[in-house]
A and B are shown apart, each in its own frame.
Chain A
Amino acid sequence: MSPRPGFVLEVDRSTPATLIWHGEGFRLERLPVGSRIIYGPEPLPPLADPDQAIRDALDNPLGDSQPLRTLLFPGMRLTIAFDDISLPLPPMRAPDVRQRVIEAVLDLAADAGVDDVVLIAALALHRRMTDPELRHALGDRVFEAFAPHGLLMQHDAEDPSNLVDLGVTDHGEDVEINRRAAESDLLIYVNINLSAMDGGHKSVATGLASYKSIKHHHNVRTMLNSRSFMDRHHSELHSSNWRMGRFIAESGVKLFQIETTLNTDTFPKELAFLQKREWEWSLKDRASFLATSTVLGRTPGGLSRKIFHSVYAPHDLTSVQAGAVEPVHEATLVNLYRQQLVEVSGQTDVLTMGLPYIGPYNVNSTMNPILVACLGLGYFFNLYKGKPLVREGGVVIISHPTPWEFNPVHHPSYIDFFEQVLAETRDMFEIEAKFEESFATDPWYVHLYRTSYAYHGVHPMYMWYWCSHALAHLGRVIIVGGDRAAVRRLGFSPASTFEDALELAEDVVGRDPTITHLRVPPLLMAEVT
C-alpha cells in the first residue's frame, strides 16, 4: 500500500485528543471543534538498495558534471565535506547515510589510486563533534581509517591559517572558506537534506565558511526578507548563499555535490505512536503512550533528556542525487517535497505547535530558551511555501517547558546573550549593531569554539535573528507550560494551559479565532494557498 499523503483534519466532536509535544514529554490535548490539524504524509518507502542507488548517482551525475570516477586521479587532493551533528533529527540509526555515501566515494577514490583524502565536518559556526558522534556519522571503518591519522578534520571558522579569502561577490559579500577545501583538486560535499533549507550552495558557502563570510547571509535583513527560508526561491538567505556558491565555483573551486533525502520515519517502533494519527492508534500504541507518559512523568529531567537523546531515528534513504550543485538541489527539493509537502487552504488566526526535545543545535544537549524560540519561530513557523500558516497579526502558541537552563559547554555565549543582552533589549537591529561584533570576536568564545565543544560566540544571535520574520509578522507569542521568567525574558506571554493560552490569544485576534495545529514532528512543510 502506498503511503498516504499529508492532509488537514478538521476537528469535530468525535476527534480524539491530539498528541502535543512538550519538550522531553508530550500530552493529549482536545483542540476546540473546528480547529484544523496538519498531518504530514506518511513515510515514503525506502530505496530498495540504497548503496546501489548511491553508486548509480555517483556514476550518473546531474547537470554538466562528469561521473565521479572520471574526476578522480592519482596524486590529486580530494576533500570530502559532510554535514555535522545538526542533521538529521533525531540522529539516524546506523548506518548513517553519510557513512554509506562516503564509503562509496572512498571506494571509487581507492579504485582511482587517490591517496590524499581528507574528511571535513562542515561545522560552520556549530560546535565540534565528539569522537563518538563522528564515529556514528561515518561508521567505524571510515573513522578508524582517517581519525587516527589526522585526516578527519572539523572545519574551524576561526583558524586564519586554514581559511582562504576568495574575494567579494558583486553584492559586496566576502567569500572566505576552508583552505583545504578550496585548494583541493576536487571538493565533494555530502548532504543530508532533512528540510528544504538544507543543501544547494548553502552547503559550502555556509558549512565551510568563516564568520566574516557567514555574516552576510545570517543577519536580520536577510531573515526578514526570507519568506520563508524553507523556500529557497523566496529566501534572501539562500540568494546570498547562491551568489557566494557561484562565486566559489568561478574562483576555481571544483565541487561535486551529493544530496540525500530521508523519509519521515522518525521514531523507533516502541515510540511509533508519536508519528501515527491518533484515531489510528492501536491498543498497543495506547499502551505505549500511557507507559511512556507515566515513566517520563516520574523521571528526573536530566534522565529523561538522556533517554530521549539516545533515541535513533529509523530514517531511510528515499533519494540520492549527485553532480552539479544547482540541478542536484532542484532534484532534491522535488524528492523532499514529495515526502513533506501538505497543501493547506488559507491562513489561520492562531497557530499551535508542540516543540519536541530536539532541534538542530541541541543534539545531546539542552534545549535552552533561545533554542526554544528558534525552533518554534525560526524553524516551525517557517515550514511553509506561499504564505505563512498564521495570518499577519496572528498568534503562535508553543507548548514547551522552556527551562531557564543552559549547557555551559555547548552554549556558553547563549547564557550571556540571554542573561545580559535580552535583559537589555530584544530588538534585532539593536542587538546586531550593538552586540554582535563583541560576541563574535570575544576571545573566550573563540577559544571554546575552537578547542572545546562550544557553538560560536555569535550563534545565539543568529538563532534570535532566525525568529525575526515570525516576530515581525505575529501579534503575540504564547508559551504554554514554560518557565514564566524565561518566557518573559524572551518577550513572550506565559500560559499555564492551552485553554488559558487560547484566551490570551483572543485578546489579540478576537473571539472564536480559527486555530490550526502543526503536528510536527514528523517533519512536514505546508504549501499555503
Chain B
Amino acid sequence: MKALKFERNVPRFAAARVASAIVGSGKGVRVGPLELVELDPIEIPGPSWVRLRPRLAGICGSDLATLDGRSSRYFEHIVSFPFIPGHEVVGDVEGGALDGRRAVIEPVLGCEARAIEPPCPACAVGRKGSCERIAFGHLRPGLQTGYCRDTGGGWSTGLVAHESQLHAVPDDFSDEAAVMVEPAACAIHAALASEIAGGERVIVLGAGTLGLCVIAALRALCLPGALVAVAKHASQRKLARDLGADQVVKPGEHKRAARRLSGSLALESDGGDIERLTGGVDLVVDCVGSSDSLQQSLEVVHPGGRIVLVGMPGVVKVDLAPLWQREIELRGAYAYGSEDRPDGPRSTFQLAMDLVRDARLERLVSARYPLERYEEAVAHAAAAGRRGAVKIVFDMRKAGSGPGGPGSGAGRPNAADTTKEAK
C-alpha cells in the first residue's frame, strides 16, 4: 500500500521547523520527516478491528503544525512513531458489520479501541476525547488514528480501525461531505462546550475550516444573540456570513466590533485608539490557538466571560493579568464523543452528519490531491485562506470513481480557489 509516513527524525524535524519558520507554513514538508512510501498492509491489532480503504482524507491545522515542527512537546508521549497522518477520513470498510460500506472514522483511540476494561471514567460516560488511557492497552500510544503507529492513518491507501470508531456514511452523502464530518464534530463539541445561554454575544476568532464549522454549529445548535466572525480573507468572510455569522470583520477590527456589539466603554491611547475594553462580549471561541488570538480573546471578553479554545495551541506567550483581574474562564474544547442534548445523549458524529447536510459543509472542500503530490497539497493547505480555499484533501479514489461531489479530478482546485483577496 502507499502511505505518507512521518518518522521520528530529529534533524529532519528541525529542518522542517526552520524552513516553515523562514519560508512559511507548509514549506518545510520537503525537508521534513514526511515521505511517500510503499508499505505492507497494517496488521489487524485484534478482534473488532477492520480494514478501511480511504477515499478522501483531509489535511487539518494540527497536521500542518506537526509537519511544520510547530506542535507542542506535550504530544510526545501520546503519539508513536512512525505514524501515518490523517484523521479526517472517509473510506470503504472491509470486514465487520459495515463490510462494503462507506464509513467515516471517529479517530480517538479510547479505551474501547484499546480493549481496556473497565474503561476510564471519561470513556465510561462517552467522553472519548478525554480518555485517560490513550497511551495504554494493546496499542502503542496515540491520541488518535493518524498519530498511532499501530493503526495507520488516512494519508494512505489502507488503515485499520476499530468497529467502534466507524460511522456509516448515508448514501446521499458525497465523499466530500463525509470527509467534513470529523471537523464538524469538533465544531459541534466546541459549540456545545461553550454552554451558550440564549442571547449571548459571541465572537469566533478564525475562519479556517474549524472556525467556519464552529460558526455553522453555533448557529445550528445554540442561540447566540449576536455572532461575529473575525476572518482574514475575503472568501472566508463570505463563507462565514453564509454559514450564519451576523457580522464579519477583519482581524484588527475585532476590538471595535466587540465594543460596539456589547456597548462597552473603552480605554484609549493618547491618539484615540482603543487599547482595551471595559466590558466586552460574553464568549469568545478561539479557533486559531496562537498567542495573538488568545490575547485578542482576552481583550474582547467581558469580566466573568468565557473563552473556549478550539484551535490547537502550542507554546504561547500571553499576558494573563486580564484573565485574573476580570475572572475570565478559559477552557479547551477537544474532539468529540457523546453530547448531552435535550432528548438525551447523542453521538457527536451523528450530530455532525446532520450539520454537514444542513449547512452543506461539503462546499468547504476546495481541492483534492493524490498522495504523490503531497508537497503541493500541504503547501496549498497551509496557504488555503489567502488562496481562497478552505479544506484541502488527499484523494485516493481513481479519477471519476467516487460517488460525486464538488468538482472532480485530483489536484484540481475548486472555483473558490481563484477568489481574489480584497481589502
Asked, given contacts A416-B256, A423-B248, whether A408 binds B268 with beta carbons under 8 Å apart, the answer is yes
Interface residues of B in 236-260 (CB under 8 A from A): 247-250, 253, 256-257, 259-260
Within 297-340 of A, Cβ neighbours of B (below 8 Å) are at none
Which residues 367-397 of B have a CB within 8 angstroms of A? none
B422 at the interface (CB under 8 A from A): yes
B263 within 8 A of A: yes
Q: Are B266 and A420 in contact (CB under 8 A)?
A: no
Q: Knowing A419-B253, A420-B247 touch, does A442 contact B260 (C-beta < 8 A)?
A: yes
Question: Is residue B423 within 8 Å, beta carbon to beta carbon, of the partner chain?
Answer: yes
Quick check: is A438 within 8 A (CB to CB) of the other chain? Answer: yes
Asked whether B266 lies within 8 Å of A444 as measured between CB atoms, the reply is yes
Residues facing B in A460-489 (CB within 8 A) are 485, 488
Name the A residues within 8 Å of B248 (CB-CB).
423
Q: CB within 8 Å of A: which of B351-367?
A: none
Q: How far is the CB of B261 from chain A (nearest CB, A)?
A: 9
State whether B272 touches A419 (Cβ < 8 A). Answer: no
Q: Which residues of A (484-516) have their CB < 8 Å from a CB of B?
A: 485, 488
- In the assembly, what is the distance between CA of A442 and CA of B264, in Å? 8
Residues in A neighbouring B256, C-beta threshold 8 A: 415-416, 419-420
Q: Give the Cβ gap from A425 to chain B, nearest Cβ, in Å.
A: 11
Contact with A along B274-289 (1 / 0, CB 8 A): 1000000000000000
Residue on A nearest B259 in the bound complex, by CB: A444
A485, B423: Cβ atoms closer than 8 Å: yes
Known contacts A419-B249, A444-B266, A488-B422: A409-B260 contact under CB 8 Å: no
- Distance (Å) between the CB of A315 and the closest chain B CB? 31
Within the assembled complex, what's the spacing in Å between the Cα atoms of A419 and B258?
13
Q: With A and B bound together, what is the CA distance between A444 and B261 in angstroms?
A: 12
Contact indicator B265/A444 (Cβ below 8 Å): yes
Q: How far is the CA of A485 from the CA of B259 in the complex (A)?
A: 24
A420–B260 touching, CB < 8 Å: yes
Asked if B271 lies at the interface with its beta carbon under 8 angstroms from chain A, I say: yes
- On chain B, the residues within 8 Å of A444 by CB distance are 259, 263-266
For A439, give the chain B residue with the smallest CB separation: B260
Give the contacts of A415-432 with B (CB-CB under 8 A).
415-416, 419-420, 423-424
Cβ contact of B249, chosen from A409, A412, A420, cutoff 8 A = A420
Give the distance in Å from the alpha carbon of A447 to the alpha carbon of B266 in the complex. Answer: 10
Contact of B272 among A407, A420, A423, A438 (CB under 8 A): A407
In the complex, what distance in Å separates the CA atom of A409 from the CA atom of B265? 14
Which of A416, A420, A423, A488 has the most chain B CB within a 10 Å cutoff?
A420
- Note all chain A residues with C-beta closer than 8 A to B249: 419-420, 423
Asked if B273 is at the interface of the complex by the 8 Å CB criterion, the answer is: yes
Given contacts A408-B272, A409-B272, A415-B256, contact A424 B264 (CB under 8 A): no
Q: Shortest beta-carbon distance, A116 to chain B, in Å?
A: 36
CB neighbors of B among A73-126 (8 A): none
The interface residues of chain B lying within 8 Å CB-to-CB of A386 are none
A253 to B263, CA, bound (A): 37
CB distance from B61 to the nearest CB of A (A): 26
- Asked if A252 CB lies within 8 Å of chain B CBs, one says no
| Interface flag for A167 (CB, 8 Å) | no
List residues 246-278 of chain A with CB under 8 A from any CB of chain B: none
Complex-state Cα separation, A25 to B249, whole angstroms: 33
- A 340-385 contacts with B by CB, 8 A: none
Say yes or no: is A46 at the interface (Cβ < 8 Å to chain B).
no
The yes or no answer to A132 lying at the interface (CB within 8 A) is no
Report yes or no: A443 in contact with B263, Cβ–Cβ below 8 A. yes
**A404 vs B253: C-alpha distance when bound (angstroms):** 13
A443 vs B257: C-alpha distance when bound (angstroms):
14
Residues of A427-459 at the interface with B, using a CB-CB cut-off of 8 Å, are 438, 442-444, 447, 452
Residues of B within 8 A of A452 (CB): 272
Residue of B nearest to A442 (CB): B263
In the complex, what distance in Å separates the CA atom of A408 from the CA atom of B247? 22
A352 to chain B, nearest CB (A): 26
B265 touches A412 (CB 8 A): no
Q: In the complex, what residue of chain B is closest to A443 when comparing beta carbons? A: B263
Q: Mark A22-53, 1 if CB is under 8 A from B, else 0.
A: 00000000000000000000000000000000
Q: Which of A404, A409, A416, A443 contacts B271 (CB 8 A)?
A: A409
CB distance from B25 to the nearest CB of A (A): 26
| Complex CA–CA separation, A30 to B35 (angstroms) | 64
- A408–B263 Cα distance when bound, in Å, is 17
How far is A222 from B63 in the complex, measured between Cα atoms in Å? 58
Q: Which residue, of A416, A420, A424, A444, has the highest number of chain B Cβ atoms within 10 A?
A: A444
A408 and B273 in contact, given A442-B260, A444-B259 (Cβ under 8 angstroms): yes
Residues of A within 8 A of B266 (CB): 444
Q: Which residues of A contact B247 (CB under 8 A)?
A: 420, 424
Contact of B260 with A416 in the complex, beta carbons under 8 Å: yes
Give A413's nearest chain B residue, CB to CB.
B260
The residue of chain A having its C-beta at the shortest distance from the C-beta of B257 within the complex is A420
Nearest Cβ on chain A to B167's Cβ, whole angstroms: 38
Contact A485 B263, beta carbon cutoff 8 Å: no
Residue from B253, B264, B268, B423 in contact with A420 in the complex, judged by beta carbons closer than 8 Å: B253
Collect the chain B residues with CB atoms within 8 Å of residue A420's CB.
247, 249, 253, 256-257, 260
Q: Point out the residues of chain B lying under 8 angstroms from A415, CB to CB.
A: 256
Query: What chain B residues lie within 8 Å of A409 (beta carbons)?
Result: 271-272
User: Which chain B residues border A416 with CB–CB below 8 Å?
Assistant: 256-257, 259-260
Q: Convert B382-423 into 0s and 1s, putting 1 for each residue whose CB lies closer than 8 angstroms to a CB of A.
A: 000000000000000000000000000000000000000011
Write out, one digit per residue, whether chain B residues 118-161 have a CB within 8 A of any chain A CB (1) or not (0): 00000000000000000000000000000000000000000000
Contacts of B264 in A (CB 8 A): 444
A441 CB to closest chain B CB (Å) equals 8
Per the bound structure, the CA–CA distance linking A125 and B73 in Å amounts to 57
Q: Is the CB of A408 within 8 A of B260?
A: no
Which residues of B sit under 8 angstroms from A423, Cβ to Cβ? 248-249
**In the complex, what residue of chain A is closest to B274 when comparing beta carbons?**
A408
- Nearest Cβ in chain A — how far from B235, in angstroms? 15
Chain A residues near B260: list those with CB within 8 A. Answer: 416, 420, 438, 442
Q: How far is the CB of A412 from chain B (nearest CB, A)?
A: 7
Q: What residues of A have a CB within 8 angstroms of the CB of B259 in the complex?
A: 416, 444
CA–CA, A485 and B248, complex, Å: 17
How far apart are B252's CB and chain A's nearest CB, in angstroms?
A: 9
Minimum distance in angstroms from B395 CB to a CB of chain A: 36
State how many angstroms separate the Cβ of B272 from the closest Cβ of chain A: 3
| Binary interface encoding of chain A residues 394-414 relative to chain B, with 1 for a CB under 8 A from any of its CBs, else 0 | 000000000010011110100
Contact (A485, B422) CB under 8 Å given A408-B273, A416-B260, A443-B265: yes
A91 to chain B, nearest CB (A): 22
Q: Which residue of B lies closest to A484 (CB)?
A: B423
In the assembly, what is the distance between CA of A443 and CA of B259, in Å?
A: 10
A416 to chain B, nearest CB (A): 5
Would you give the shortest CB distance from A466 to chain B, in whole angstroms? 22
Residue numbers in B under 8 Å from A404 (CB-CB): 423
Q: How far is the CA of A412 from the CA of B272 in the complex (A)?
A: 8
Please name all residues of chain B whose beta carbon is closer than 8 Å to the beta carbon of A447 when the two chains form the complex.
265
User: B391 to chain A: closest CB distance in Å?
Assistant: 25
Q: How far is the CA of A420 from the CA of B253 in the complex (A)?
A: 9
Assembly CA distance A218 to B54 (angstroms): 63
Q: Contact flags (1/0) for A131-170 with B, using CB distance below 8 Å?
A: 0000000000000000000000000000000000000000
A291 to chain B, nearest CB (A): 32
Could you give, for residues 175-193 of chain B, a 1 whenever the CB lies within 8 Å of some chain A CB and a 0 otherwise? 0000000000000000000
User: CB within 8 Å of B: which residues of A?
Assistant: 404, 407-410, 412, 415-416, 419-420, 423-424, 438, 442-444, 447, 452, 485, 488
User: Top 9 A-B pairs ranked by shortest CB distance?
Assistant: A408-B272, A485-B423, A409-B272, A444-B265, A419-B253, A416-B260, A416-B256, A408-B273, A443-B263
Return 12 A-B CB contacts under 8 Å, by A number.
A407-B272, A408-B268, A408-B273, A408-B274, A416-B259, A419-B256, A423-B248, A438-B260, A442-B260, A443-B265, A444-B259, A485-B422
Known: A442-B263, A485-B422. 8 other contacts (CB 8 A): A408-B273, A408-B274, A410-B272, A415-B256, A416-B256, A416-B259, A420-B260, A443-B265
